Amino acid sequence: MNLLIITDLHLAAAKPAGRIGDYIADVEAKLDEIIAISREYSIAAVLCAGDLFHRPDVPFSAVSRFISFIERLDRRFITIPGSHDLFGNNLDSLSRTAVGLLSRLGCIELLLPELRPATRVGSMSIGIAGSKVFDIELVHGAVLPKPDFGEYTLLENYKTDARIVVVGHYHNGYDAVEVNGHMFVCPGSLIRTSASTTELLRRPRVAIVTDTYKVTWRELESAKEGYEVLSPPVVVPKLDVTGLIQDWKVSTMESIDAISLLKELGSKENIQQKYVDYALNRLEAKRYDVRGENSKTKAGS
């Protein structure tokens, strides 16, 4: 008997900001391949280390598509809530979320974990009929082999009694690492959502774990190349305003009206109008806030 390990599906009703192309079709192709792999390897259960959905209140269409996937999968699906599955990353909100609903409907087996610094952990022993008991722990958090930005826990500092620890949340993933007798398995996000260098080059994959704890990686053939599905981040050009200062015959930038400056920069630098409008709206909102604070100060004086 084998287990299939995936993480960070980020299922949604519409494509995230960092995606291009037909996002729904791309996700469906991956789910179909997971079903095929499950049959090929006689998978007894699929494990997901969190972030099943891209947001806790995902529209019904996304929930419906996932239920259809579970029906076709015809395997146990075991998961823990990830940071995107909860409101404010708070377990108390579980009853108001899509994963909470699916758990109550019996579509998924949701482990209710404890909270630890930088991690959300669900410990379990999975009993599979006709096979041994798997000793596995799911964690959604930055549990990493080497330091990275933000809050994280290094593998050697992670406390566990489990034979295998499945790590979610860290989208880049890393190869299986054994530390202090514990195997850490981090496939990386099944869905790429940002055009970082790593994500552009990485091909999503799943891990297959045998009942002897052997880990085999399987890259998804349905996953397209990064440049086909990821939108490069907007690059804001570095602008030289020296000429404008001379044209307007002023000595300092403080003398320039910000709205007029934004409009002229947009025209001269061929910046798309939607970005100029966005900047103008943000500026006006900030001015409104300042006016409001000034009014409060005068009223209180």
* 201-242 per-position pLDDT tens digit: 899 999 999 988 899 999 999 999 998 999 876 554 555 555
Q: Is 266 left (phi over 0), alpha (psi -120 to 50) or beta?
A: alpha
Alpha carbon distance, N-terminus to C-terminus of the chain: 75
Q: What is the pLDDT of residue 255?
A: 45
Mean pLDDT of 95-115: 88
| pLDDT given at position 111 | 84
Q: What is the DSSP letter of 255?
A: G
* pLDDT single digits (tens) 28-63: 999 999 999 999 999 999 999 999 999 999 999 999
What's domain 2-229's architecture? 4-Layer Sandwich (3.60)
Q: Which residue has the higher pLDDT, 200 or 234?
A: 200
Q: Is the pTM of this model over 0.75?
A: no
Q: Smallest Cα–Cα separation from 193: which of 60, 23, 6, 7?
A: 23
pLDDT digits (tens, 9 = 90+) for 127-176: 554 555 678 889 898 899 998 877 888 999 988 888 899 999 999 999 99
What is residue 254's predicted lDDT score, i.e. its pLDDT? 46
- Is the Cα dihedral 20, 22, 24, 30 positive or negative? negative
DSSP secondary structure, 164-216, as one string: EEEEES-TT-EEEEEETTEEEEE---SS--S--HHHHH---EEEEEETT--EE
Name the nearest CA neighbour of 99 among 117, 116, 111.
111
What is the pLDDT confidence band of residue 270, given thresholds at 50, 70 and 90? low
Q: Does the pLDDT at position 86 exceed 80?
A: yes
CB-based contact 137:164 (threshold 8 Å): yes
Q: How far is CA 136 from CA 36, 64, 133, 164, 180, in A?
A: 24, 29, 9, 5, 15
Using an 8 Å Cβ cutoff, are 146 and 124 in contact?
A: no
Could you tell me the residue ranges of all domains in the chain?
Answer: 2-229, 242-300
Residue 290: the pLDDT is 46
Question: What is the structure's pLDDT at 236?
Answer: 47
Least confident span in 9-13, 74-78, 115-119, 198-202: 115-119
pLDDT of 292 higher than 80: no
pLDDT value at position 275? 67
Q: Are strands 153-154 and 143-144 parallel, antiparallel or unpaired?
A: parallel
Separation between Cα atoms, residue 280 and residue 247, nearest integer Å: 22
Statement: residue 298 has pLDDT above 60: no
Identify the pLDDT of residue 132. 56
